[in-house]
């Protein structure tokens, strides 16, 4: 499955997503909160920094851009400095803001967060100040919204509705947008507002409520996976969905379609801030489905992306590279660092896709000593991914004699895999590593300086492919053979 996930996330392309919703400016004021005010029992915030970022539907746009998709933004901002600031942020990121409506009768939705820095380091939100109008658009603005949506619809691969219940996506508006999109053959994905009535989203393709939102919509608590399955059935049936994707925080997500009813678990996370997690899930799901991923794959990728987002402070994007690294890390934790050459080649291809530099070295590494550790740490300084080619037992015997190795290949590989500086271990049977080097195709080949006169095996291949050979300085007096001989002396 991990290969399918890697292939899918690295082949998303640049789909166009027609994104309609409540575009919000997130404003952060950071300061040291070191004392209590003498005027009232509240912290005094000494301002140290101010930042602005994309929130609400604007956060989804930023997430889509980080995934390589192109959001076509349809929403409303006020004719105020915050409106200019928000559209400017979106423009700078590369979003299409030509369909944004500027309204004179409502402010740009702004959430200002006051964040205290305890001991200058630990962030803690103290207060949030919201500036917004949640009244429905007037008739002229709503008509303009429909016209712009219809104009942009043919350009889109998929449609997203991000509803924060701020007056834009009313019952009438949602019904009209969904009708137009489905008539044009476009899927509609909805991140719903908190409500006990989801009828406004009837006929949408996919809906992505979280556990709490789902409980409110279906009228019973979603505490267990069994509850989620029951709730998903209700949503698909009652609002005529193609699929329901219920996000279950630490429990992952539950996917329900006409042919599927499955729980997709996620990796346990250290949750730093859940702000923006739903936006990231919607963005990843939209990008995945627009790229023709099946539902299971798209939801699995959304699980990963949402999980990475909650480990960050505030509303934050997650890149394809981060998702790729997470997939590989999760797979490696299951498969281990010790791999056969075929699976290793697949993983190295994905590392290369991220422009990672591959380092290769090899040896018997029979009795590990200080010289080995310093040598391998040096290898790690030469690139991003270190692959160690380990001589098999039969190969060691051919080189060192019938009494070697002292430790078998599995024990040697396990010890080496435990080192942080080693990313992969691959065992080879041949007397020299040339065949393995040709399979790995390293950017850097590292050998000890004692190979300068003997000639480094694989040098010609590596240099012919644009790589380089680096000779590492060795620690004097340290070798497996010397260690073994000293042990023999002690025994005698």
Q: Which residues of 52-74 are buried (b: 16+ CB within 10 A; e: fewer)?
A: bbbbbbbbbbbbbbbbbbbbbbb
Give the DSSP H/E element, type plus range, for residue 413: helix 409-417
Best CA proximity match to 205, nearest among 236, 248, 171: 236
Torsions phi, psi for 22 (to 5 deg) = -90, 105
Q: Reply yes or no on whether the pLDDT at 332 is more than 70.
A: no
> What does the pLDDT look like over 412-456, one tens digit per residue?
998 999 899 999 999 999 989 999 999 999 999 999 988 888 899
pLDDT at 458: 95
pLDDT at 33: 82
User: Is residue 287 within 8 Å of residue 64, measured between CB atoms?
Assistant: yes
> What does the pLDDT look like over 236-286, one tens digit per residue?
999 999 999 999 988 889 999 999 999 998 776 555 555 668 898 999 999
pLDDT at 274: 57
Q: Reply yes or no on whether the pLDDT at 314 is more than 80.
A: no
pLDDT at 353: 72
Catalytic site includes residue 139: no
Rounded Cα distance between 304 and 284, Å, is 9
pLDDT at 368: 86
pTM of this prediction? 0.73
Rounded Cα distance between 71 and 65, Å, is 7
pLDDT at 336: 76
Q: List helix spans (H) across 67-210.
A: 81-93, 139-152, 171-183
DSSP 386: E
pLDDT at 119: 62
Q: List helix spans (H) across 67-218.
A: 81-93, 139-152, 171-183, 211-218
What is the overall mean pLDDT for the chain? 89
Q: List helix spans (H) across 44-168.
A: 57-66, 81-93, 139-152
Give the DSSP H/E element, type plus range, for residue 395: helix 393-400
Tell which CATH classification among 1.10.20.140, 3.40.50.620, 3.10.450.50, 3.40.1160.10 matches the domain 337-491: 3.40.50.620
Best CA proximity match to 178, nearest among 157, 205, 198: 205
pLDDT at 342: 85
Q: Reply yes or no on whether the pLDDT at 480 is more than 90.
A: no
pLDDT at 385: 93
Rounded Cα distance between 323 and 465, Å, is 29
pLDDT at 490: 62
How large is the C-alpha radius of gyration of the chain?
A: 28
Give the DSSP H/E element, type plus range, for residue 237: helix 225-238
> What does the pLDDT look like over 89-98, one tens digit per residue?
999 999 999 9
Rounded Cα distance between 386 and 426, Å, is 11
User: Is residue 339 within 8 Å of residue 347, measured between CB atoms?
Assistant: yes
Picking from 119-123, 211-215, 383-387, which range would have the lowest pLDDT averaged per residue?
119-123
Catalytic residue selected from 80, 96, 227, 279 = 279
User: Is residue 188 within 8 Å of residue 159, measured between CB atoms?
Assistant: yes
Picking from 54-63, 84-93, 362-371, which range would have the lowest pLDDT averaged per residue?
362-371
> What does the pLDDT look like over 467-478, one tens digit per residue?
999 999 887 755
Q: How do the domains of the chain map onto residue ranges? A: 2-21+57-77+141-332, 337-491
Q: Reply yes or no on whether the pLDDT at 488 is more than 80.
A: no
Of the two residues 103 and 337, the one the predictor is more confident about is: 103
User: Is residue 56 within 8 Å of residue 142, measured between CB atoms?
Assistant: no
Tell which CATH classification among 3.30.70.600, 3.30.450.20, 3.40.1190.20, 3.40.50.10800 matches the domain 2-21+57-77+141-332: 3.40.1190.20
């Amino acid at each position: 499955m991990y290969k399918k996930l890697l292939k899918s996330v690295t082949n998303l392309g640049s789909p166009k997503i027609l994104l309609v919703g409540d575009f919000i400016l997130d404003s952060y004021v950071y300061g040291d909160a070191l004392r209590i005010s003498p005027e009232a029992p509240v912290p005094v915030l000494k301002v140290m920094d101010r930042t602005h970022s994309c929130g609400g539907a604007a956060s989804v746009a930023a997430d889509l851009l980080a995934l390589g998709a192109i959001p076509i933004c349809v929403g409303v901002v006020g004719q105020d400095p915050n409106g200019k600031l928000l559209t400017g942020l979106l423009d700078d990121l590369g979003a299409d803001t030509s369909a944004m409506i500027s309204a004179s009768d409502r402010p740009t939705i702004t959430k200002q967060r006051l964040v205290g820095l305890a001991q200058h380091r630990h962030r803690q939100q103290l207060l949030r100040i919201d500036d917004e109008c949640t009244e429905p658009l007037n008739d002229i603005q709503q008509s303009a919204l429909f016209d712009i949506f219809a104009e942009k619809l043919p350009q889109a691969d998929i449609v997203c509705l991000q509803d924060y219940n701020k007056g834009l996506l009313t019952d009438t508006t949602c019904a009209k947008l969904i009708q137009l999109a489905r008539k044009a053959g476009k899927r509609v994905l909805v991140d719903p507002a908190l409500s006990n009535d989801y009828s406004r989203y009837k006929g949408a393709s996919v809906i992505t409520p979280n556990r709490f939102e789902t409980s409110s919509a279906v009228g019973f608590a979603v505490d267990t996976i069994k509850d989620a399955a029951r709730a998903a059935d209700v949503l698909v049936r009652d609002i005529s969905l193609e699929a329901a994707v219920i996000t279950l925080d630490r429990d992952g997500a539950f996917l329900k379609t006409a042919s599927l009813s499955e729980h997709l678990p996620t990796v346990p996370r250290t949750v730093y801030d859940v702000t923006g997690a739903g936006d990231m899930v919607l963005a990843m799901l939209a990008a995945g489905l627009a790229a023709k991923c099946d539902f299971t794959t798209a939801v699995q990728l959304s699980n990963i992306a949402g999980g990475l987002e909650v480990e960050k402070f505030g509303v934050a994007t997650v890149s394809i590279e981060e998702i790729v690294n997470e997939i590989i890390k999760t797979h490696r934790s299951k498969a281990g660092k010790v791999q056969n050459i075929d699976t290793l080649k697949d993983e190295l291809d994905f590392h290369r896709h991220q422009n990672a530099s591959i380092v290769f070295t090899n040896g018997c590494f029979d009795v590990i000593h200080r010289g080995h550790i310093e040598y391998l740490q040096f290898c790690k300084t030469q690139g991003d991914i270190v692959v160690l080619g380990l001589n098999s037992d039969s190969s060691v015997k051919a080189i060192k004699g019938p009494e070697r190795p002292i430790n078998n290949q599995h024990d040697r590989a396990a010890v080496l895999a435990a080192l942080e500086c080693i990313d992969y271990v691959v065992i080879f049977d041949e007397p020299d590593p040339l065949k393995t080097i040709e399979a790995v195709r390293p950017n850097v080949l590292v050998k000890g300086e004692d190979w300068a006169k003997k000639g480094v095996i694989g040098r010609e291949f590596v240099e012919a492919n644009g790589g380089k050979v680096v000779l590492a300085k060795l620690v004097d007096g340290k070798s497996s053979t010397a260690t073994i001989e000293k042990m023999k002396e002690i025994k005698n």
